[in-house]
Amino acid sequence: MAVANPVIGHWYRRSNGSLFEVVAIDEQDATVDLQYFDGTIDEMDFERWSLLMIESVDAPDDWSGSVDMDPEDFTGENSGELPAGWHDPLEFLDQVE
């Protein structure tokens, strides 16, 4: 089922299976800014949006696709322990030096 209008903050899936979130809509330029699950930013115009087979989906449970971190970046004392602020990415980034 195709989605008629994009909504900022909502997640969608393209027919090729790629997940993305609408992060901005520019009414004046008639464009939609997208951020794919892997963090890639893209832009498309309203006309292209209406032609694509896009379905609305729930946000992914694992949001870490767009966060470029390796296990060795964790600062927890115990192996596998998530560092403080991990569940709030902005708080975590503020703590990283």
6 by Cβ neighbours in 10 Å (0-12 / 13-18 / 19+) ranks as buried
| Tokens coding 68 | 């470029």
22-58: pLDDT as tens digits: 999 999 999 999 999 888 899 999 999 988 888 999 8
Distance of CA 11 to the CA centre of its chain: 8
Neighbouring C-beta atoms of residue 61, cutoff 10 Å: 6
Same domain, 80 and 49: no
Beta carbons within 8 Å of 8's beta carbon, 6+ residues apart: 22, 23, 24, 25
0.75 surpassed by pTM:
no
Whole-number percent of the chain with pLDDT over 70:
61
- 19 and 49 inside one domain: yes
- Average pLDDT along the chain: 76
Predicted pLDDT at 28 = 93
Domain span including residue 37: 1-59
By mean pLDDT, which of 1-5, 25-29, 59-63 is the weakest? 1-5
